[in-house]
Structure 1
Amino acid sequence: MNVAILMLSAGSSTRMGSTKQLLPIGNKTLLGLSIENALQTNAKKVFCVLGSNAENIKNSISQYDIEIIINPNFKEGLSSSIVEGLNHIDNTNFDAVLIMLSDQPKIDSNYINLLILSSEKHPTQIIASQYEKTIGVPVIFPKKYFKQLQQLEGDKGAKDFLNIHKAQVISIKSDKLIDIDTQEDYLNFLKSL
């Protein structure tokens, strides 16, 4: 199965107060760690959508074998990055896209591969991550959903879309689903290492 990873990293980190993607974690950055995890999976290619502070972030990840997509509309919210990414890969031969965020550092290659394996077993289903009461990213969408996803608007990303298509979703539980949104989240994550 030919899966592309679409890593969303275009936001302006308003709650963090600094460029979240560049936060140091060991000798890497938050975004660098997420990219390394993505590159160690069974996905065929990793795309990274940048927007706010794109040049600085792009320079910080230049060593990785990924393709950068610039989202000029990043201020319109998460959905604009999904749309920009899918517009970019729409005419390629990928069977599915795995959408993930760059601020979930505990999402490792094992978990991503688990999602990909589930997608290979159920190629027509959406494979989503199960939070306590919701489903969300990382999520794999088969190609048949690309056109609908390209119509998304707003800052909810694919959340409403997933809820509408709940009958087509297989959800996978994990304890790795933490986001780094604030300084407190970041410090707590560093303490957990």
Structure 2
Amino acid sequence: MKNIAVLVLAAGKSSRMNGIKQLEKINNKTLLDITLEKLKCIFSDEIYCVLGANAAKIKAKITSKNIQFIENPNYEKGLSSSIISGIQYFKKEALKFDGIYILLADQPAIEIAYLESLLVLFKEHKDIIIASNYGNKLGVPAIFPKKYFPELLLIKGDKGAKEFINQRKNEVVCPESSTNFFDIDTKEDLELFKNS
């Protein structure tokens, strides 16, 4: 899938976790590696991971290979800053993609088949956003066609892509299938997930 860049957002400082969330382990794998390994089953390359807080510690512990890391110096400004860092990096490196596939690093239950279903939709609808349906809201994982890149550079705050998508509901298609979108923000979330 050469024409899509995958952007995993993992720059947050995990303030609610009391630790480095990206390195928390489930079945001896870090939360970030779980996401990256699923993506490696679909993409051979063009996987980019945005880091910010604790970037050096995270890079040192990640076992997934052939991942390009992008540093976000503005990570304290929220998820939006990581999306902007990714797009700016692509521009600086003169990398041209038809779309950008945005995921979070803290949703370990999302299935590979679900991630693939978004790609299938993107092949059919190359000019609109492919997003995930959370019931009352739309969000990531999502794929944004290149025509949205200039607008994505203007987003602000910690809502990331979610607000951007929900403001454009008439320009969005969602897969009919669903998945477990459970995201891990606290130690309690982590224990709940491990015991589920």
TM-score with structure 1 length normalisation? 0.94
One-letter identity of the residue aligned with 2:40: L
Q: Which of 156, 161, 186 in structure 2 is aligned with 1:182? A: 186
Paired with 2:30 and 2:158, the residues of 1 have a C-alpha distance of 24
Paired with 1:17 and 1:58, the residues of 2 have a C-alpha distance of 19
Residues paired across the two proteins, number:
192
Q: Which of 131, 135, 147 in structure 2 is aligned with 1:132? A: 135
Q: Paired residue for 2:120?
A: 117
Counterpart check, 1:46 vs 2:78: no
Aligned residue for 2:195, secondary structure, equals: helix
Deviation at residue 93 of structure 1 after TM alignment: 2.4
Aligned residue for 1:8, secondary structure, equals: strand
Q: Which of 165, 170, 181 in structure 2 is aligned with 1:167? A: 170
Contact 1:71 1:81 (C-alpha < 8 Å) held by counterparts:
yes
TM-score with structure 2 length normalisation? 0.93
One-letter identity of the residue aligned with 1:66: I
Q: Which moved more, 1:133-142 or 1:62-71?
A: 62-71
Counterpart check, 1:85 vs 2:86: yes
Paired with 1:109 and 1:93, the residues of 2 have a C-alpha distance of 25
Contact 1:37 1:107 (C-alpha < 8 Å) held by counterparts:
no
Paired with 1:159 and 1:186, the residues of 2 have a C-alpha distance of 23
Paired with 2:29 and 2:166, the residues of 1 have a C-alpha distance of 35
Deviation at residue 27 of structure 1 after TM alignment: 2.3
Deviation at residue 188 of structure 1 after TM alignment: 1.3
What do residues 89-139 of structure 1 show as CA deviations (whole Å, max 9, x unaligned)? 233121100100000001232211110111001111100000021000001
Instruction: Determine what percentage of the aligned residue pairs are the same residue.
Output: 45
Structure 2: runs of 5+ lacking an equivalent:
none
Contact 2:23 2:31 (C-alpha < 8 Å) held by counterparts:
yes
Paired with 2:75 and 2:17, the residues of 1 have a C-alpha distance of 17
Q: Which of 103, 108, 112 in structure 2 is aligned with 1:105? A: 108
Aligned residue for 1:16, secondary structure, equals: coil
Contact 2:48 2:67 (C-alpha < 8 Å) held by counterparts:
yes
Deviation at residue 44 of structure 1 after TM alignment: 4.6
Q: Paired residue for 2:76?
A: 75
Paired with 2:137 and 2:45, the residues of 1 have a C-alpha distance of 28
Paired with 1:134 and 1:124, the residues of 2 have a C-alpha distance of 21
What do residues 14-38 of structure 1 show as CA deviations (whole Å, max 9, x unaligned)? 1111110000111210001111011
